[in-house]
Structure 1
Amino acid sequence: MPKALPVIDVSAPIRCMPVAAAPVDDQVALEVALRLKALADPVRVRLMSLLLAEPGGTVNTRDLAAAVVLAESTVSHHLGQLRAAGLVESVRRGMTVQHAARRDALSALCFVLDPECCR
């Protein structure tokens, strides 16, 4: 059985120097790895792409499920992983939940990996 990673709060965007600037400590490495782990699934990458491409900025679970041809419960699970990593925010509106990508968190992750990436 694989070793479980410790649970830490990764809901806020990363606020550290790029990994290329200096060797990172264990805590920073863990925070970056957990965010990357959340993106290490093709369905989650597609969901992020759909959220980022949405002109209005938010999409409900039903529409996302239809776009990726999966059950709403499966999509909710994937969105929960992205939300726990701080990459998506969700707001309940009545019987639906609206989701939006957290561009600040994605930009921070890009900067940590490669400061030349987002210029």
Structure 2
Amino acid sequence: MAPTPLPLLEDCCSPVVGQVISPAEAETLATSLKAVADPVRLRLISLVAAHADAEACVCDLTDPVGLSQPTVSHHLKVLVDAGIFTREQRGRWAYYRLVPDTLSRIARLLTTP
């Protein structure tokens, strides 16, 4: 069973500054922030974004981060579950793509309106 993706942050969350956010909004935003608050995941975001067509196979991501394929796949799953990446299975390999504007949406929720 596929995990339920998080709603778009703009659809569920108010900016953190300028108004008080609800407990549910805080939980949703915290999930996204936790997903990117890891050095390996930040590298994976950078690697995928810099890759040709802003898409990368898990097989192309293991060597640059120096971790095993299962460990990289775990980090990628966290990013998919947080709505930061999409995942497409092609045969034996999974390909990952950054969801457009996701990182800028997170940044907008943290900055002054």
Aligned to 1:53: 50
Aligned to 2:60: 63
Give the whole-Å Cα distance in 2 for the aligned partners of 1:22 and 1:90: 34
What do residues 12-39 of structure 1 show as CA deviations (whole Å, max 9, x unaligned)?
Answer: 3202331112011101111111111111
Q: Does 1:12 align with 2:11?
A: no
Q: Please tell me the residue identity of whatever aligns with 1:82.
A: L
Give the whole-Å Cα distance in 1 for the aligned partners of 2:62 and 2:25: 33
Provide the identity percentage.
34
Deviating 4+ runs (over 3 angstroms) = none
Structure 1: unaligned runs, 5 residues or longer: 1-8
Q: What pairs up with 1:66-77 in 2 under 5 angstroms?
A: 66-77=63-74
2:105 to 108, 112, 116: 108
TM value normalised by structure 1: 0.83
TM value normalised by structure 2: 0.87
User: Which structure has the highest helix share of the two?
Assistant: 2
Structure 2: unaligned runs, 5 residues or longer: none
* Number of residue pairs aligned between Structure 1 and Structure 2: 109
RMSD: 1.8
Contact 2:6 2:28 in 1 (8 A): no
Give the whole-Å Cα distance in 2 for the aligned partners of 1:33 and 1:10: 15
